[in-house]
Amino acid sequence: MILKRLEDTLHLGGCLGLVAVAALINADILLRFFFNEPVQIQFELTELFLMPALATLSLSRVYREGGHLAIDLIPKNFAGDLGYVIKFVQLLLPALFFMAVTVMSGKFALHAILEGEIEYGVIDWSLGWAYAVIPLGCGVLTLRLVHDFIEKIILK
């Protein structure tokens, strides 16, 4: 229940990020066309904060809902011991992969926060907070994969 709420909240954040990207890009286009004035922060805000949020915050919810893109080479209801092994591998390997992404990107974000790394531009952007959405989104996906692994493999 808590995991579902967290996934839904992060998904909402990702969706709001998409709305913000669309609004910023369209505002930039319109302001350039009609007033010859760009939205100065559009590119940096989109590149540093919004695109990583779009790419990672919805991962877990989309996976939970079965909305991810997948190429199924093996039938989902493969019976017997081989089916069990296939389910085991299909949940464990992605969990290990996203755990590694979470740890490494978390270290990277923490280092940037602690060192006060800045992207200089129209506004001086704190890179650590820009990087923080990646371990957040991947970490929640890892939790979902571990949850499903326990539920479908360990408790079955």
Render pLDDT for 88-118 as a digit per residue (tens, 0 to 9). Answer: 888 899 999 999 999 999 999 999 999 999 9
Apex 18 CA angle, 120 and 130, nearest 5: 30
Least confident range from 34-38, 65-69, 123-127, 128-132: namely: 65-69
What's the whole-model pTM score?
0.89
Task: Catalogue the E-assigned strands of the chain.
Answer: 118-119, 125-126
Distances (CA, A) of 145 to 9, 44, 52, 61, 154: 18, 33, 21, 11, 13
Give the contacts of 12 (CB within 8 A, at least 6 positions apart).
none
CA dist 146 and 138 (Å) reads: 12
* Count of other CB atoms within 10 angstroms of residue 147: 16
3-state secondary structure of 123: coil
Q: Are 6 and 58 in contact (CB under 8 A)?
A: no
